[in-house]
Amino acid sequence: MGKKVYLTDAGEEMQRYSSAVLATLAEADQVFDEMRGLGRGRLRIAVASTANYFVPQLLASFCQRYPGVQVSLDVTNRKRLLEALSDNETDLVIMGKPPDSMELVSESFMDNPLVAIAPPSHPLAQEKDIPLERLQEETFLVREKGSGTRSATERFFVEHGVSLSSTMEMSSSESIKQGVEAGLGFGLLSLHTLEMELALKRLVVLDVRELPILRKWYIMHRSGKRLSGVAKSFKEFVLGESKAILNLPTLPARN
Ligand code: PGA
């Protein structure tokens, strides 16, 4: 149509089947890589954009141990990760709560607290034990639909009977942090995205009574998927060593 090519329904079916064939061939390739020698081969991982704040650090340690491994890392939001799992485009996925709608093997390896952030100059920044209703009138910068952070945040406010009067949607944690720093509003993000801003005192975590939202990080793959040796090693590495390798911010103890 015009100068563009659109797929017919049959074309779309063909595209789905072709992708599945290509994914299976890639899997076969991995198996042969593995037969050629231990610690070699390709590792395809896809992670939630929020996990991108610590996964490269894990990869660096893993690749130091297995220098022959070739890594491809896809960073995207939860909705896209579910598609990658369902289309077998990836070996392993790291994200928040696994969906019930798909048969997956998933294991949690670390807590993922979600916290409210504000600029240090905001009057609430100094207060202790703030009830959630006090945030109701503030503007909140929220992630795009399809993000795990966004759905956890929405569920949290509904569960606590709080409806926000004003929200502004942004498609990355990075822009939310910049927006909060600039005074556009508050944000609710994983503590693991905030290391630099908290260390440099550009943002503060508000002491809200009902927070943090307690989530966990999971590593997962489709059940029935034949994991390559490299993928198996990476999964074991993440489950066993993440906590020791990562130096992520922690929440101050409550009195
Ligand atoms: P997100 O995912 O980066 O899509 O918000 C985080 C999560 O799944 O908890």
Contacts of 194 (CB under 8 A, 6+ apart): 115, 117, 177, 203, 205, 249
Alpha carbon of 50 to ligand 1 centroid (Å): 6
Distance CA 69, CA 33 (A): 10
Q: Which residue has the higher pLDDT, 155 or 32?
A: 155
- Tell me how far apart the 2 most distant CA atoms of the chain are, in Å: 66
The helix/strand/coil state of 41 is strand
Task: Give the tens place of pLDDT for each residue, 86-109.
Answer: 888 899 999 998 888 889 999 999
Which residue among 83, 110, 147, 156 has the greatest number of ligand 1 atoms within 8 angstroms of its CB, and so is best to mutate? 147
The helix/strand/coil state of 145 is coil
Task: Give the tens place of pLDDT for each residue, 167-220.
Answer: 999 999 999 999 999 999 999 999 999 999 999 999 999 999 999 999 999 999
Residues with C-beta less than 6 Å from any ligand 1 atom: 48-50, 77-78, 95-96, 143, 147-149, 215
Within 13 Å, how many C-alpha atoms sit on residue 98's CB side? 21
**Is residue 37 predicted with pLDDT exceeding 60?**
no
pLDDT (0 to 100) of residue 59 = 96
Q: What global pTM score does this model have?
A: 0.83
Q: Which residue's alpha carbon is at the smallest distance from atom 6 of ligand 1?
A: 148
Chain-wide mean pLDDT for the chain? Answer: 91
Amino acid present at 145: K
CB distance 113 to 205 below 8 Å: no
pLDDT (0 to 100) of residue 106 = 95
User: How distant is the alpha carbon of residue 240 from its chain centre?
Assistant: 19
Q: What is the mean pLDDT of residues 33-45?
A: 74
